[in-house]
Amino acid sequence: MGEFGLIRHLTEDIKTQQASTHKGVGDDCAVISANNSETLVTTDLLLEGIHFDLTYVPLKHLGYKAASVNISDIYAMNGTPTQMVVSLGISKRFSVEDMEQLYDGIKLACRNHGVDIVGGDTTSSLTGLTISITCIGMADKEDIVYRSGAKDTDLVCVSGDLGAAYMGLQLLEREKAVFNQQGNKDKEVQAQPDFQGKEYLLERQLKPEARGDIIKKLKEAGVKPTAMIDVSDGLSSELLHICHESHCGCSVYEERIPIDYQTGIQAEQFGISAVTCALNGGEDYELLFTVSLKDYEKISQIEGVHIIGRIQKEELGALLVTRDGAEYPLQAQGWQHL
């Protein structure tokens, strides 16, 4: 049973009791009604050794990222992030200065997106650093975009480019391995890692930006997506979430998937496929969304948005169409635990 299966299993019998609960488990955020405006709630748990490795992740970047991934979930509902609560589990090896750095990163991301930190919990930890963040957002009822609204013939769009965060991670992991090997030799001759020309990949991994700018551009262009999700697990998984929730299929064209040239070069050096990184790498925190065909003109003119495929009937499947025209079913990712 994988991650998605376990969540489904644990939550499938939950019945909502509150009239104010408009949407519970199963989208980027919960939706709670508060009269005219709706309240959005999302949460993420980040554990040392699973989600981050402090041998190469600076604490300030970690804080920034932890906040960003939650803010990104609010945008993925077409909402405005407004408040955040932050819980930290801290082991003895961390100093007050360490926690300041972590918090500085959280505060910076919040400031950039107008989010208020309104509470949290701070506790000691026997093991690694634990970060749990819950972000609250607001949206007018008619503006909210769920994963479930994609319709046959809709266009599949994605912001920015994909796969770079995964390449950044591979680079950092490689340098860590080199460093660990050198640790047994003379410390004097250890070379500093040379990341020149690879800054973009590292930044995508270490300091992802939640795409509030895209939400703004869509609003300005008068386009409301029919379905939306942010890319945390990889394009494949997110497409499958939309298809599952919207009871539809899709065809996504390999040649249309936006990949930065640095990602391409680095993938080639590592001998792996850049498209595989985009499909399964994850942590891009770009927005994946579908729009009605009638919005084609408008969406084409928005800088930083790429049309990568189309929604089709469920029975046609969720497919990747390669450059040579072959079709492959998309595969889900997510961690495998049990």
Q: Which of residues 113-172 bind its own copies (CB under 8 A)?
A: 114-128, 130, 132, 134, 136, 138
Measured between alpha carbons, how far is 37 from 2 in angstroms, rounded to an integer?
Answer: 35
Measured between alpha carbons, how far is 285 from 127 in angstroms, rounded to an integer?
Answer: 28
DSSP 336: B
Residue 85: Cβ-neighbour burial (10 angstroms; 0-12, 13-18, 19+): middle
Q: How far is the CB of 47 from its own copies (least distance, A)?
A: 5
**Out of 53, 54, 100, 321, the residue judged to bind its own copies by CB under 8 A:** 100
Contact segment (CB under 8 A) with its own copies among 11-19, 179-187, 217-225, 294-302 equals 11-19
For residue 135, give Cα distances in angstroms to 106, 111, 131, 296. Answer: 12, 14, 13, 32
Nearer to its own copies, 85 or 307 (CB): 85
**CA pseudo-torsion sign 79, 85, 86, 89:** negative
| Site for its own copies contains 261 (CB under 8 A) | no
Measured between alpha carbons, how far is 29 from 73 in angstroms, rounded to an integer?
Answer: 7
Q: How many CB atoms lie within 10 A of CB 302?
A: 17
Nearer to its own copies, 37 or 273 (CB): 37
Nearer to its own copies, 37 or 276 (CB): 37
**Out of 56, 64, 75, 103, the residue judged to bind its own copies by CB under 8 A:** 103
Which residues are paired to 85 by β-bridges?
119, 134
| Site for its own copies contains 39 (CB under 8 A) | yes
Contact segment (CB under 8 A) with its own copies among 41-49, 191-199, 211-219, 293-301 equals 41-49
**Out of 60, 61, 65, 107, the residue judged to bind its own copies by CB under 8 A:** 107
- For residues 69-98, which are near its own copies according to CB under 8 A? 82-83, 85, 87-90, 92, 95-96
Contact segment (CB under 8 A) with its own copies among 47-55, 148-156, 168-176, 265-273 equals 47-55
Nearer to its own copies, 37 or 251 (CB): 37
Report the chain's terminal Cα–Cα distance, integer Å.
Answer: 5
| Site for its own copies contains 55 (CB under 8 A) | no
DSSP 115: P
